[in-house]
Amino acid sequence: MLCDDSAAARAVMSRMLSSDPGIEVIAKATDGTEAVAQLTAMKAPDRPQVILLDLEMPRMDGMTALPHLLRVAPETSIIVASALSQRGAKATMEALRAGAVDYVPKPTAAAGGMNGGQFQAELVAKVKGWARMRRRGPAIPTAMPRMAVPLAPALGVAAAAGTLKPRIIAIGSSTGGPQALAALVARLNRPLGVPVVAVQHMPAGFTTLLADHLNRIGALPCSEAKDGEALLPGRFYLAPGDRHLLVKDAGQGFVAQLSDGPPENFCRPAVDPLLRSVVAACQGKVLAAILTGMGSDGLAGSRALVAAGGQVLAQDEASSVVWGMPGAVAKAGIAAAVTSIEDIAERIVAAGGNGRRT
C-alpha cells in the first residue's frame, strides 16, 4: 500500500515498485484517514505485507495514522517516507520508536528527485526485505539468544581467532541497520574494555538522532563521533552522516578523525575507510561485525582486516533485511561466524569485555 498525499509521488513510487516482478501495489491512499479505512476494510489474507507511509500529509498525517494502522494489521511492516531535513529526521526516529520498521528519505530535486536509480534500488530492497522478514517471523530479533547458524559448506568459514583480544570493535550496516543496531546495542549489557566504532549508511542529521536513540536503549554510552575526540573504552561512536569516520592511533589511545573524502561504494560514511583505518591503528587487532545492508561495502576492508590478523562476524541471512554486505563477506569465506544479532552481541561482549590495549 502507498500512502502519500502527492499524486506525483504515488505514481512514481508505484511505477518503481511495480517494475519488480516480486512486488504488487494493491492499494493507494491520499492520507492517513483513507489508509486506515482501506486497511480496515480488507480481510487479513488480502492485506498488504508492507505499507509505505508518508509522514507529512493533510487531514491525518503519518505519525497519527501509524498506531491505527498497526492496531488494524500488526503483522504489516510500515516503512515511513520522510523529508531530508532535521525535522524529517526527528519525525523518522519518532516513527521508528512507535513501531515503523524502517524509513526511506525522499530525495530532493537537487539530488535528482525520485527519478534517481539509487532511490529506486533502496525503495525496492527495503519493501522486499521487510516483506520477507514478516513472512519469516518478528522483524526484531527476540531477547532469547540462539546458537550461531552453521555456514553452508560451499561458502567456507575463516578460522576463528579464539585468542584475539581486540583493541577496538568496528561495526558496519546499511539497509535495515537502525533496527539491527538497536537490537545489538540492547544486548551489549556488560562493560567493554575497548571502544566501539560504527558506520550506518544514513544522511546527515539522521545519524545524530540514531545515536541518541541507541544511547537511550543500551548500557553503553552512544554518541555521534566528533573530529579529534578521544575514543574511550566502553563507549559507542557512530559516524556522522556525510562524513567518513577514521580511527587514528594516539599513542596511549585512539582518536576519531572525520573525513570529507570522496564516497566509497556510493556511500559517505562508508564502512571500508573505517576498516582500513582501524587495521592501521590497531595492527590488525580488531573485531568487526558486518550487519544487514545492500551492496558490498565492508568487503574490501574485511579482507584487509582478516589478512592483518583480525576477525570478522557477518549477520546471517535469516535475520538480515538485505543480505548484501554480510552476504558478500560470508561468500568470500572470510567470516569467522555467520550468525544472528544475538550471537554477534555475545561474541562482542566476550571478546571486548576483557579487551585491553597491548
Per the annotation, the verdict on 297 as an active-site residue is yes
Dump the DSSP string for 28-49: EESSHHHHHHHHHHS-GGGS-S
Say how far apart CA 271 and CA 119 lie, in whole Å.
20
- Within 84-148, strands assigned E span 102-106
Q: List the catalytic residue out of 102, 201, 296, 316.
A: 201
Say how far apart CA 198 and CA 290 lie, in whole Å.
10
3-state SS class at 267: strand
Per the annotation, the verdict on 223 as an active-site residue is no
Greatest CA separation for the chain: 65
CA-closest candidate to residue 3, choices 25, 32, 24: 32
Class of residue 334 by CB neighbours under 10 A (exposed 0-12, middle 13-18, buried 19+):
buried
Query: And the C-alpha cell for 7?
Result: 499524486
Q: Is the dihedral of CA 302, 126, 267, 205 positive or negative?
A: negative
Q: List the catalytic residue out of 77, 82, 174, 277.
A: 174
Per the annotation, the verdict on 68 as an active-site residue is no
Q: List the catalytic residue out of 54, 297, 316, 343.
A: 297
Q: Which residues are catalytic?
A: 174, 201, 297
